[in-house]
Structure 1
Amino acid sequence: MVVPELRPWRAARPHVVRIADAVRPRLARAAAAAKPRVARLARARKPQVARVTRPKTWQYAAGAATAGLALAAGVVTATGPWDSSGQRTAERDRAAALGRAGGTDHGRAPGAPAQPRPAPSAGPVLTGLGGISTVKSAPDGKALAQALTPLLKDPALGTRPAASVVDVTTGKRLYGTDPDAALTPASTTKIATAVAALSAMGADHRLTTRAALEPDTKEVVLVGGGDPTLTAREAAGGWASLRVLADKTAAALAQRGVREVTLSYDTTLYAGTEMHPIGVNPNLAPLSPLMADEGRTNDSTSGPADRVEDPAADAAHRFGDLLKSRGIKATAPGPSKATTRAKTLAAVSSPPLSALVERMLTDSDNDIAEALARQTALASGDRADFAGAGRAISARLRKLGLPLDGSSFKDGSGLDRADRLTPALLTALLTKAADPAHPELRPALTGLPVAGFTGTLTSRYTDGAAGAVRAKTGTLTGVNTLAGTVVDQDGRLLAFAFMANNTPNPSEAQKALDRAATTLSNCGCR
């Protein structure tokens, strides 16, 4: 696979400067370490212009620069999509929604910020592609083995960790130890969920929640569309607002002269049980196509929290209260199903799927992950339950030509310990997301947490490859995984996956995985 190099959009420059100024204190310590990489870039040839586009609203670009640490020295480029102000739209949406972080913490250190902070320009995720380096070849496999194998033998990684490292430019595997071993992946499963959902629905797809009026009965049905980011809070932060839906619904009813309604709610979009196999758990709500604020019982926006027993009933009650405050008297809501004769009064839509995927990956949001798995099933014509979602994810990945031997998808979040993925599949997913033939998959890369800056990697790599590593974490009891991308010292973009099961100490296992990723970042390996 040959990936053309890309230049950043000129409109990005003012935004990049502002971001660089904001994070300069954070990156001061890293500047010295970046100097050799910057010097090599200064000698590199000027890139040729190429563009990769896809239909509709999203365009992607990546500049010829180093990732992460090189940003500290001022070599800053940007990746799209961009709006007219020069700000990356997905980054803008996330920044506007910092109060809606959601998800779980994956070992976040005590006292560390619960909300993600934008990285400097979010780092050019496709840096290292298209021959921007004077180095024509990928790292030597033997040299990589000498660097990585001792680290992966760390007892903190259990009895038999597995790994894969791939050159994203060519798709060639550079290093592997049991790369086809099917292990419990934990939350790295979300990479597969992201790629499957984007493949099934496209990056611009939105999830809609609507209120419909049954003719002649004055029954208003709140119809769940599977949007887990629907919020009833005053500050919607760019997400679909139950308050806005109530505004629109009340206005539509008033136009019809209706001031009193029977309120009900429709959750028939999903099938099967609402309870995840792990049972009641503070890391996710019961699965429902209708929920507000992820069913949280407090004002929290991230990390574990108690959830309501029935998210749909809770959302409908809150909607009824909002209608009453707007002059529409509503009965206590009960479950129902909107008929084909029901007329839509009002609707609100989620941000595009690209933004949902980025939030899911950055924050390891389990509620979004399970919703996107079911949406993938619906888009594939399968049953919207756990089994149907697993079949749909597998089918979508198989259609993309990805290696599925040994894999098994029991859920979309990775909370189910019966899930099985291989390092080979994880690196193949990341490589496919970088393929210019599939720009719709790019959010599976741009959403990865940035070491030392965003999401579940905010408090990690503070003394290592901060800004240079982008990776999805995975953490369950006895399970620690890490999969993502890194630009090595020669400017090559590498995809990696490290998987460890039966780990005796989660903190030590995390450190061991981080050392392996940092070694890749620092590796010339020739």
Structure 2
Amino acid sequence: MLTTLAVLQVLTIVIGVYAMTTEFSLSALTSGSSPTKPTASPAEGTSPSVPVVTAGPVLAQLPVKPGDGPLPTKGTLTKQLASALGDDALGDRVGVSVIDTVTGEQLFAADPDTAVTPASTTKIITCSAALAALGPDTRFSTRAVQGSAPGNVVLVGGGDPLLAGPTAKQDGYPKQAGLATLAARTAATLKSQGVRKVTLSYDTSLFTGIAKAPGWKSNYIPDGEVAPVYALTMDVGRQDPRFRSPRVPNPPQYAADAFARLLTKQGIKVAKSVRQTKAPAGAAELGRVDSAPLYALVEHTLTHSDNDMAEALMRHVAIKEGQEASFKGGAKAVATVMQRLGIAQGVSLDDGSGLSIRNRISPNALAKAIALSGSPAHPGLHAVASGMPIAGFSGTLGNGRRFVGSDSRGQVGLVRAKTGTLNNVNTLAGLATTKDGRLVTYAFMADRVPVNAEPVLDRLAAIVARS
């Protein structure tokens, strides 16, 4: 049933083997790192464009029909996983679920319904809900519109934190919308109307509520883990897009001031004061730029553990589901969408990124959500599978610190998984093709870790891949 997906999975793995940090879009085919600080998973930069690749030994080692091979021997798998779970590095609260994607059969479980702090594996749920609610081709628009009086311009945030500022390089994947492009289009419209002097305001009303989630630690924003959440943000709130920190304290004002300077360069004189306002209903559009399609944003979010994009996606789900676009409304909306997908239990969120220590997700919920991304009944969810980092090669699994042990490095390139890291929390959830070509999903979660359990989680995923 999942032959096509599994073949595409193999192709994405081959791409990963030859491109150390390159993302590859499964959606494009079907349609034509541990953090530097132990407190949270990072929001990394975009990756380079996809190079030309030829098939290599990873593909040659796999059967003709990946996904249709025999199930791994349960006794052997159980013995090996149970032995690895005895490692003291995992602490005293561990949840595990391993699922066969063809039949839905649970191949191994250890407290699979235990509510565990998920850290950044939360993004699997957030991204699944976004794709299901909004559709993979949805784009987010940043606009400039006519204000309430002639000569007034309002910059309207569309909830795209990847909006590129004037100094950002835009040569990666996914292709970002650019504030400079918006300024050029807006200036052209204004000049066509004979307007060369304006007052500028900005509108952030698409998102509501507080800008920092319950359960966020005070150091997250200063350390560059995430920016305050607003509908108008450029360069994910970074003061300089080349560096992870510092994040600016007021992303909307920072973006609007940059837009004013860009308009000036285009020959439009802008009044000195740039303030917040709300655009008039039905205001005439002066210019707009659109984000990459949602499937590409999801791939980016999962590969690079982008906290800012995850929080934006959660709010867009809230809007689609008729909830307020806040942390609270987003959590309700995501839960509603997951229930429609058949995951009615095991998900309780306070944010969309997993930075909140108050989030709880069960291993069963994560493994089932990943399995849905390969289901023929849910083709719109495929970007969850293709966005997973590749062991040893891309994203948060490509930092040279994962899958390096003697008990896991043999599965480099054969495991795809989303990492999760907070203080005393290590999680890993993803998919792998067994040695006989069976596609399985898994979630390994521990939230009472004494120091660091990442090598043990890598070993567990490697056991599944070579079973």
When the two structures are superposed, what TM-score results if normalisation uses the length of structure 1? 0.77
In 2, distance between residues paired with 1:72 and 1:287?
35
In 2, distance between residues paired with 1:63 and 1:325?
46
8 Å contact kept, 1:67–1:467: no
For structure 1, which runs of at least 5 residues remain unmatched after alignment? 7-59, 90-100
8 Å contact kept, 2:197–2:269: yes
Query: What is the Cα deviation at residue 243 of structure 1?
Result: 0.2
Match of 2:351 among 411, 425, 449: 411
Q: How is 1:107-506 mapped onto 2 (pairs within 5 angstroms)? A: 116=47, 132=66, 135=69, 137-214=70-147, 216-232=149-165, 233=167, 235-237=169-171, 238-277=175-214, 278=216, 279=218, 281=221, 282-300=224-242, 304-331=244-271, 332-405=273-346, 407-458=347-398, 459=400, 460-462=402-404, 463-506=409-452
Distance change >3 Å, CA 239–CA 503, structure 1 → 2 = same
Give CA deviations for 1:354-384 in whole Å, capped at 9, x if unaligned: 0100000000000000000000000111110
Give CA deviations for 1:103-159 in whole Å, capped at 9, x if unaligned: 965879xxxx9765769689999x999965784x31232221101011011100011
Q: Which amino acid aligns with 2:164?
A: T
* Equivalent residue, structure 1, for 2:21: none
In 2, distance between residues paired with 1:168 and 1:106?
35
8 Å contact kept, 1:247–1:326: yes
Distance change >3 Å, CA 134–CA 207, structure 1 → 2 = closer
* Equivalent residue, structure 2, for 1:38: none
Match of 2:464 among 493, 513, 520: 520
Query: What is the Cα deviation at residue 348 of structure 1?
Result: 0.1
Higher RCO (C-alpha 8 Å, min separation 6):
2
In 1, distance between residues paired with 2:146 and 2:116?
49
Distance change >3 Å, CA 121–CA 206, structure 1 → 2 = farther
Distance change >3 Å, CA 64–CA 482, structure 1 → 2 = closer
Query: What is the Cα deviation at residue 443 of structure 1?
Result: 0.3
* Equivalent residue, structure 2, for 1:40: none
Query: Are residues 1:510 and 2:447 paired?
Result: no
Query: What is the Cα deviation at residue 213 of structure 1?
Result: 1.1
Query: What is the Cα deviation at residue 160 of structure 1?
Result: 2.5
Query: What is the Cα deviation at residue 461 of structure 1?
Result: 1.8
Distance change >3 Å, CA 287–CA 215, structure 1 → 2 = closer
Give CA deviations for 1:406-447 in whole Å, capped at 9, x if unaligned: x21110000001100000000100111110111100001100
Query: What is the Cα deviation at residue 62 of structure 1?
Result: 3.2
Q: Which amino acid aligns with 1:480?
A: N
Query: What is the Cα deviation at residue 289 of structure 1?
Result: 0.4
Q: Which amino acid aligns with 2:122?
A: T
* Range moving further from structure 2, 137-146 or 266-275: 137-146
In 1, distance between residues paired with 2:317 and 2:235?
22
Q: Which amino acid aligns with 1:354?
A: Y
Q: Give the 3-state SS of the residue equivalent to 2:80 in structure 1.
A: helix
In 2, distance between residues paired with 1:310 and 1:66?
42
* Range moving further from structure 2, 137-146 or 165-174: 137-146
Distance change >3 Å, CA 403–CA 424, structure 1 → 2 = farther
In 1, distance between residues paired with 2:109 and 2:286?
56
* Range moving further from structure 2, 279-288 or 354-363: 279-288
Give CA deviations for 1:315-353 in whole Å, capped at 9, x if unaligned: 000000000111111122100000024210000000000
Q: Give the 3-state SS of the residue equivalent to 1:300 in structure 2.
A: coil
Q: Which amino acid aligns with 2:461?
A: A
Q: Which amino acid aligns with 1:310?
A: N
For structure 2, which runs of at least 5 residues remain unmatched after alignment? 19-23
CA-based RMSD: 3.1
8 Å contact kept, 2:419–2:427: yes
When the two structures are superposed, what TM-score results if normalisation uses the length of structure 2? 0.87
Distance change >3 Å, CA 449–CA 311, structure 1 → 2 = same
* Range moving further from structure 2, 279-288 or 395-404: 279-288
8 Å contact kept, 1:451–1:470: yes
Query: What is the Cα deviation at residue 241 of structure 1?
Result: 0.2
* Equivalent residue, structure 2, for 1:96: none
In 1, distance between residues paired with 2:6 and 2:451?
40
Distance change >3 Å, CA 489–CA 357, structure 1 → 2 = same
Give CA deviations for 1:238-279 in whole Å, capped at 9, x if unaligned: 200000000000111000110111100000111111123324
8 Å contact kept, 2:68–2:438: no
Distance change >3 Å, CA 372–CA 379, structure 1 → 2 = same
Query: What is the Cα deviation at residue 488 of structure 1?
Result: 1.0
Give CA deviations for 1:466-495 in whole Å, capped at 9, x if unaligned: 110100000000000000001111111110
Query: What is the Cα deviation at residue 300 of structure 1?
Result: 2.4
Q: Give the 3-state SS of the residue equivalent to 1:404 in structure 2.
A: coil
Q: Which amino acid aligns with 2:169?
A: A
Q: Give the 3-state SS of the residue equivalent to 1:442 in structure 2.
A: helix
In 2, distance between residues paired with 1:116 and 1:428?
28
In 1, distance between residues paired with 2:310 and 2:88?
32
